[in-house]
């Protein structure tokens, strides 16, 4: 009975479209899988070509997420989240991997931010890493690509570095810059310490422009953008993932869960991958739009 009344109310609202009675479509997340056996998972990176998902594992028992301890690894999940290789890449004495965090796929290579350096792993066995000169970072955190170059944020330095065949360029960023992403040629970032979302100038000339939403968040980690311009950001110590409307004004809780870190988005399949760093798992959600 209540369901029928609610449906009727929606119909009336749609016909009348009066103030306060507008029918809105909001994004909804439904969990489809949880992949356990991770070890301090920090980032989920979707390969847009294959749909495969790379997960960086910091693998620390002391929660020293910036230790050069040679304990890191990278897992690979199939599209939709089924495990493929839980230890696809492991730290070795001759090729150490310490506390890997953000990642991106560029020209057949998975680039990984590993504390003070960027490392590359071919995703196709016969390919070779591009000859990119990495920055001398302090705390390199997230990575992204615009299809032309590779970018990495340095949380301690408060800067983003652009890497291409010509070298390294500094991009102005907020203090505590963490997650970074691109959408339709524009660059966006979140700040761990300033608690806000920013639009950055990828040329490095303009200053970061805040959304003005800092009161909503505690410690922002990851950021992605849906194809309609809706932002998805993760608040690690706020224990939630939220959406921000394309006009950058409305914040809605999408998922309540513990310690969500650097999220990964499969736009084509509308799948969201959420590493839960202190729960040692990755939660997978299917995203749909529903009327409210």
pLDDT tens-place string over residues 114-135 = 999 999 999 876 666 555 667 8
Per-residue pLDDT at 131: 58
Q: pLDDT over 70 for what percent of the chain?
A: 89
Per-residue pLDDT at 166: 86
- Cβ atoms of residues 124 and 131 within 8 Å: no
Per-residue pLDDT at 62: 64
Per-residue pLDDT at 10: 42
The two tokens of residue 236 are 């690690």
Phi, psi for 10 (deg, rounded to 5) = -65, -40
- Cβ atoms of residues 77 and 282 within 8 Å: yes
Q: Which residue has the higher pLDDT, 255 or 63?
A: 255
How many C-beta atoms surround the C-beta of residue 87 within 10 A?
11
Per-residue pLDDT at 13: 45
Distance of CA 291 to the CA centre of its chain: 26
- Cβ atoms of residues 11 and 230 within 8 Å: no
Burial string for 55-82 (b: 16+ CB within 10 Å, else e) reads bbbbbbeeeebbbebebbbbbbbebebe
Per-residue pLDDT at 64: 83
Q: pLDDT tens digit string along 169-197?
A: 999 999 999 999 999 999 999 999 999 99
Q: Which residue has the higher pLDDT, 209 or 61?
A: 209
Burial string for 20-34 (b: 16+ CB within 10 Å, else e) reads eeeeeeebebeeebe
Evaluate if residue 153 carries a pLDDT over 90.
yes
Phi, psi for 214 (deg, rounded to 5) = -60, -30
Residues 6+ apart with CB under 8 A from 198: 173, 174, 177, 188, 189, 190, 191, 208, 209, 210, 211
Fold adopted by 2-291: Neuraminidase (2.120.10)
């Amino acid at each position: 009975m209540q369901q029928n009344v609610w449906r009727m109310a929606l119909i009336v609202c749609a016909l009348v479209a009066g103030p306060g009675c507008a029918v809105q479509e909001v994004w909804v997340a439904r969990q489809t899988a949880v992949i356990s056996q991770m070890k301090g998972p920090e980032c989920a990176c979707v390969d847009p070509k294959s749909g495969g998902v790379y997960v960086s594992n910091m693998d620390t028992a002391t929660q020293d997420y910036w230790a050069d301890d040679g304990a890191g690894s990278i897992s690979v999940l199939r599209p939709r989240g089924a495990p493929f290789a839980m230890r696809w890449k492991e730290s070795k004495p001759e090729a150490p991997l310490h506390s890997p965090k953000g990642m991106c796929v560029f020209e057949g290579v998975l680039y990984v931010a590993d504390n003070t350096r960027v490392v590359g792993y071919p995703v196709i066995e016969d390919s070779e890493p591009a000859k990119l000169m990495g920055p001398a970072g302090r705390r390199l955190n997230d990575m992204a690509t615009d299809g032309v170059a590779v970018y990495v944020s340095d949380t301690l330095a408060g800067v983003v570095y652009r890497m291409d065949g010509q070298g390294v360029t500094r991009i102005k960023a907020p203090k505590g810059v963490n997650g970074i992403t691109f959408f339709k040629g524009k660059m966006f970032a979140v700040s761990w310490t300033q608690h806000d979302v920013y639009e950055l100038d990828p040329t490095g000339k303009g200053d970061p422009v805040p959304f003005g939403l800092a009161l909503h968040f505690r410690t922002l980690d990851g950021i992605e953008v849906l194809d309609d311009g809706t932002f998805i950001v993760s608040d690690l110590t706020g224990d939630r993932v939220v959406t921000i409307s394309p006009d950058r004004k409305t914040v809605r809780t999408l998922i309540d869960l513990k310690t969500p870190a650097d999220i990964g988005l499969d736009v084509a399949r509308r799948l969201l991958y959420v590493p839960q760093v202190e729960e040692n798992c990755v939660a997978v959600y299917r995203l749909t739009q529903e009327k409210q």
